[in-house]
């Protein structure tokens, strides 16, 4: 069997008609997903991606779709579009921001009034104000997406805090991170019944001692926000690269995935982009 050389991991945050940073419109997301199906791509689960990293044969046109934080708009817009195309994605949730309560309407149902979706900046303001329900998912919605097979859920800490920036000492910082792992693991176990080996760094920050700590908690697959590298078969599972998606249609999306996974073009593109970034300082 011909196998994938590289599996691109795609990173989304918001799927929403509200314009803002790290936001893809439902129309463009629909176009991107249709593009994947039309081009014959398979969307992997995190376990299938882990098998690829371990050297197991994987279809050449494979991609892992990931979503960060756990925004309400993922239920309202991303879930129905994934369901329509029979695709799967993985979500890294900030467990302390997930609420309780009944399922809210989503775009799958015709003629319903959809909840108002705050923009990214409004969501961050709601986090700061400690009023997250109108911005973030509820456990009931997470369970519904899990049952539908559109999303699986993994850990993105309990509070999403950059403890390295607010702690007085490194020991204090690591103690906070230990609590992040313990508290989020307990909530995921309570609501979803099991742990996972996949973890995504909050705000993209990590260091060697963070990696050691995550591994001590059983996380073997660590997802970064670094774009310019390839996820290759039998390579380092503690440094997974992800492509940040733009608010553009299928043509841009498929071209970006093609570049990311190409054995020659991919590394050249990444070198060029890293060089440009260095020049910009
Ligand atoms: Zn995040």
* Gap from CA of 1 to ligand 1 centroid (Å): 37
pLDDT of residue 99: 96
pLDDT of residue 168: 95
Is residue 135 domain-resident?
A: yes
* Gap from CA of 158 to ligand 1 centroid (Å): 11
pLDDT for 22 beyond 90: yes
Cβ(125)–Cβ(177) below 8 Å: no
Is residue 182 domain-resident?
A: yes
pLDDT of residue 274: 87
pLDDT for 51 beyond 80: yes
Residue 14 lies in domain? 9-280
Please count the structural domains in the chain: 1
The predicted-structure confidence for 141-196, as pLDDT tens digits, reads as follows 999 999 999 999 999 999 999 999 999 999 999 999 999 999 999 999 999 997 79
Which band of pLDDT confidence, cut at 50, 70 and 90, is reported for residue 205? very high
- What whole-number percentage of the chain has pLDDT above 90? 85
Q: How far apart are CA 167 and CA 59, in angstroms?
A: 45
Mean pLDDT, the chain, rounded, equals: 94
* Gap from CA of 202 to ligand 1 centroid (Å): 5
* Gap from CA of 154 to ligand 1 centroid (Å): 12
* Gap from CA of 159 to ligand 1 centroid (Å): 10
pLDDT for 279 beyond 90: no
Is residue 107 domain-resident?
A: yes
Cβ(34)–Cβ(55) below 8 Å: no
* Gap from CA of 68 to ligand 1 centroid (Å): 5
* Gap from CA of 110 to ligand 1 centroid (Å): 31
| For residues 247-259, average pLDDT | 96
- What whole-number percentage of the chain has pLDDT above 70? 100
* Gap from CA of 203 to ligand 1 centroid (Å): 5
* Gap from CA of 141 to ligand 1 centroid (Å): 19
pLDDT of residue 109: 86
Is residue 1 domain-resident?
A: no
The predicted-structure confidence for 98-138, as pLDDT tens digits, reads as follows 999 999 999 998 889 999 999 999 999 999 999 999 999 99
Whether the model clears a pTM of 0.75, i.e. scores above it, the answer is: yes
* Gap from CA of 69 to ligand 1 centroid (Å): 5
Is residue 3 domain-resident?
A: no
The H-or-E segment that residue 256 falls in is helix 250-261
Which residues are CB-neighbours of 111 under 8 A, at least 6 positions away? none
Is residue 108 domain-resident?
A: yes
Query: Burial, 37: exposed, middle or buried (Cβ in 10 Å; 0-12, 13-18, 19+)?
Result: middle
pLDDT for 256 beyond 90: yes
Residue among 79, 69, 77, 184 at smallest CA distance from 127: 69
Query: DSSP of 178-207, one letter per residue?
Result: HHHHHHHHHHHHHHHSS--SEEE-GGG---
Is residue 2 domain-resident?
A: no
Is residue 4 domain-resident?
A: no
CATH of the domain at 81: 3.20.20.370
């Amino acid at each position: 069997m011909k196998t994938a050389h590289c599996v691109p991991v795609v990173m989304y945050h918001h799927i929403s008609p509200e314009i803002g940073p790290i936001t893809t419109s439902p129309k463009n997301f629909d176009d991107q997903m249709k593009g994947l199906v039309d081009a014959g791509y398979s969307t992997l689960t995190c376990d299938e991606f882990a098998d690829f990293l371990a050297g197991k044969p994987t279809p050449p046109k494979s991609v892992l779709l990931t979503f960060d934080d756990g925004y309400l708009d993922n239920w309202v817009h991303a879930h129905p579009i994934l369901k329509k195309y029979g695709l799967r994605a993985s979500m890294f949730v900030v467990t302390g921001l997930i609420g309780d309560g009944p399922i809210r309407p989503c775009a799958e149902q015709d003629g319903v009034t959809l909840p108002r979706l705050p923009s990214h900046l409004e969501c961050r303001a709601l986090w700061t104000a400690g009023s997250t329900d109108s911005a973030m998912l509820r456990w009931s919605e997470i369970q519904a997406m899990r049952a539908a097979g559109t999303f699986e859920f993994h850990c993105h800490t309990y509070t999403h805090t950059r403890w390295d920036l607010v702690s007085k000492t490194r020991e204090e910082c690591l103690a906070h991170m230990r609590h992040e792992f313990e508290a989020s693991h307990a909530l995921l176990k309570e609501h979803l019944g099991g742990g996972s080996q996949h973890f995504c760094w909050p705000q993209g920050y990590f260091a060697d001692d963070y990696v050691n700590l995550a591994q001590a908690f059983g996380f073997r697959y660590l997802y970064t926000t670094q774009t310019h590298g390839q996820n290759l078969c039998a390579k380092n599972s503690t440094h997974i690269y992800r492509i940040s998606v733009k608010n553009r249609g299928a043509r841009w999306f498929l071209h970006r995935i093609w570049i990311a996974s190409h054995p020659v073009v991919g590394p050249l593109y990444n070198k060029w982009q890293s060089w440009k970034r260095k020049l910009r300082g």
